[in-house]
Structure 1
Amino acid sequence: MNLNPIQLFDTESSTFTYILTAPGSNQAVIIDPVDHQLERDLRHLERLGLQLALVLETHAHADHVTSAGRLRALTGAQAAVPSGCGIAPAELQLNDGDVLRFGYAEEIRVLHTPGHTAGSMSYLWRGNVFTGDTLLIDGCGRTDFQSGSSDALYDSVTGKLFALPDDTRVWPAHDYKGQAVSTIGWEKRHNARLANRSREDFRILMSELKLAKPKLIDIAVPANQNLGLPHGA
């Protein structure tokens, strides 16, 4: 059964935030919240009568600051983060194969999918996979900073994500082309960077991108490693 998440978009950073709900329960999970969208997200939770149980991060983002720390303080939720991303204040340090639970019987399976960053995680829930910057719609995240690796990303996508059922819905952390959701089957057949491409071809492609450094990286990464809170807070 596919149960759709609530998908919210930040136009400044092109970031998707997701709210997952639990049938028969008022508990909810939020994935990759953005600092200046805190009030928007709180209004969604209030409007729907939801109690936030978990705040999940797919990685320590370089292009925006998270609101995870403030959400945790305001709602009593626990922060759950990839163990390899250096986000020390979070209560739950996640490893590959972990299972997060909320509501009465909801389970989120943790998949370590490094490449964009060394610690990047994807989250599988009810036929939906939240892929962070590892797998985007018709693309993938860059691999040239934060311990990125084109080889690791290739393995994460082709070995782990593309091994999921074809009808698994793909919900990325970002989109820059007005798209919202895809499927594993579509990405396996059509993804411009990864479909039917050899490891060596992918390595060459990624090495030739020559992307500009994210404007906020020097601010965002240290902030996100403290759940978006000022250091010492």
Structure 2
Amino acid sequence: MRTERLMSSCFAEFYEELARIKQAVAGGRLASYLGGKNSGPDLAASTGARLLALLATQEQRVGASANHMELKAYGLARYFMAALADEILGVNLNWEGSDYWNDHLIERALFQRAVAGRDFYLLADRVLHSRGNNPVMADLAAVALMCMQLGFQGQYRGKTGAEARERYRKKLLHFIGVGADVHSAGGNSKPLFPSAYAGLISETTESRLAPFSRWYLLGLGVVFMYLILSTGVWVYNIRDLTSVVPYQGVFDLFTP
């Protein structure tokens, strides 16, 4: 599984499965899709097992071709993906398994912890404070951004956290190269790609239980936007193992 944008490609695959699950919920056919029983506990268990199986298969493919830094970054990308899945399935989505999802958290299964509401932003900060122009780190920042665009709020949930969420989104956009340098003279930076901002979710119009079609189209739109822009924004090559040193602090908490 060797692609130009490894982390975002893995995210797109993972979110595609989440979108299918949401579609099955909306159509009242989740049990049929999962091939299991229709009770809440069974649906939660089957959904968790399906997502974990996808991530396990994905990890094997990544491990077969990724370099050392990409493997480290993928471990962190999996944390971002786990945080998104747990918030969608445990908080955002009205479905039969939501009350039982705490027993099947992806974060706990993979990382033996359940603090993504806080640590998602802690790790996003570490990515944002990494130095140098490195496509792996930019790709990782894009995964964090897409998770936020697709529903993750964590400790900044609700109206009281709207300003903080918007601040993170803007920082991540700048970091991946969609916007101008955050520290440009006078602070009057303008986005290099203004149309990219059109895809941002409006906090005032976003509903907690959005229809599936909106989630699906939004997910495809954000991923598609990023994959297209990334081909023109980054021209750097993946560096060898010596380039890992400045970024080691980002990965201290999690190792795949």
Normalised by the length of structure 1, the TM-score is: 0.38
* Structure with the larger strand share: 1
